[in-house]
Amino acid sequence: MPGLLEGKLGLVAGLSNKYGVAWGVTQALIREGARLAFTYQGRYAEHAHDLTSDIAGSIRVQVDDASDDALLRPAFDEIRRNLGGLDFLVHSIGFSPPAALTGRVTDTTRDDFRTTFDASAYTLLALTRAAEPLFNERGGGSVVAMTYYGGEKVVLGYKIMGVAKAALDGIGRYLAAELGPDNIRVNLLSLGPLRTMAARGIPGFLGMMHEAPNRAPLRRNIGMEDAGNAAVFLCSDLSRNVTGEILHVDAGYNITGM
């Protein structure tokens, strides 16, 4: 029986290590038959090679700064040459200087603000713009970006990244509205707490992991497989009429109040 993504061509942007969401999603995409390209930073080159070297037909492209359009252009040219087009793009990129994640949001410097928003929000716009011609060659496409509940409600430990996620969510909706006539869908995937390397840098993360099952209706945390399965749904034709949405995969945590 063919997989849900059999014959589909996709890009996973932001591959780092085996503990990251990008790799968790990748495993589900491969399981469903997709052929994939990956972007990664040079500091993760060894990890990216080790993780993907055995994936048939995969393409690896180093992009040290996804907020630099001069680096994106040749990267997408290489993806076009090797794949011929794209059916979906998974955006799993985010960064904030450590100082911005330890102090008050109120005290965020302009430089740290710019860095956080450029890396964590604007990159969705830049990558989608670069992917648009490749989507058009395939008759449309799907963009999935990783967000978090801290962009909708205040999660004090998430600091300025919460504000950046709010911007990311807004960018996703506007892209969905503008690109819909070309059959390009844009959705966001809001995940519950996961034990990733990036999450360990969030103050109070372990407390969030402990508290989430106490408040979530399903009384449990999610696993990386849940993230992957949701991404498959949003990348596949099963969600062909879903766009501009934030899909929460958090055991229902987001619906609860005090």
Inside any domain, residue 3? no
Inside any domain, residue 35? yes
- Tokens 């619906």 appear where? 255
Inside any domain, residue 159? yes
Burial, 71: exposed, middle or buried (Cβ in 10 Å; 0-12, 13-18, 19+)?
middle
pLDDT at 209: 74
Give yes or no for a contact between 256 and 192, defined as CB atoms under 8 angstroms apart.
no
Per-residue pLDDT tens digits for 187-204? 999 998 876 656 555 666
Of 65-69, 141-145, 229-233, 246-250, where does mean pLDDT reach its minimum?
A: 65-69
Inside any domain, residue 2? no
The CATH number of whichever domain residue 81 belongs to comes to: 3.40.50.720
Give yes or no for a contact between 172 and 231, defined as CB atoms under 8 angstroms apart.
no
Q: What's the CA gap between 143 and 127, in Å, rounded?
A: 10
pLDDT at 203: 60
pTM summary value: 0.93
Strands 88-91 and 35-40: unpaired
pLDDT at 210: 77
Inside any domain, residue 253? no
pLDDT at 105: 96
pLDDT at 28: 98
Range of the domain at 127: 9-247
Q: What's the CA gap between 112 and 101, in Å, rounded?
A: 10
Percent of the chain's residues with pLDDT above 90 = 85
Inside any domain, residue 254? no
pLDDT at 67: 87
Nearest CA among 132, 125, 90 for reference residue 233? 90
Q: What's the CA gap between 97 and 113, in Å, rounded?
A: 9
pLDDT at 194: 79
Q: Output the average pLDDT for the chain.
A: 93
Q: Kindly list the catalytic residues.
A: 148, 158
Per-residue pLDDT tens digits for 34-46? 999 999 999 999 9
- Mean pLDDT, rounded, for 145-159: 91
- How would residue 258 be classed by pLDDT, with cut points 50, 70 and 90? low
60 pLDDT above the threshold of 70: yes
Inside any domain, residue 28? yes
Inside any domain, residue 256? no
Percent of the chain's residues with pLDDT above 70 = 94
Per-residue pLDDT tens digits for 179-188? 999 999 999 9
- Mean pLDDT, rounded, for 122-146: 98
Give yes or no for a contact between 192 and 215, defined as CB atoms under 8 angstroms apart.
no
Q: What's the CA gap between 63 and 92, in Å, rounded?
A: 13
Q: What's the CA gap between 228 and 196, in Å, rounded?
A: 14
Count of domains observed in the chain: 1
Per-residue pLDDT tens digits for 225-250? 999 999 999 999 999 999 999 999 99
4 pLDDT above the threshold of 60: yes
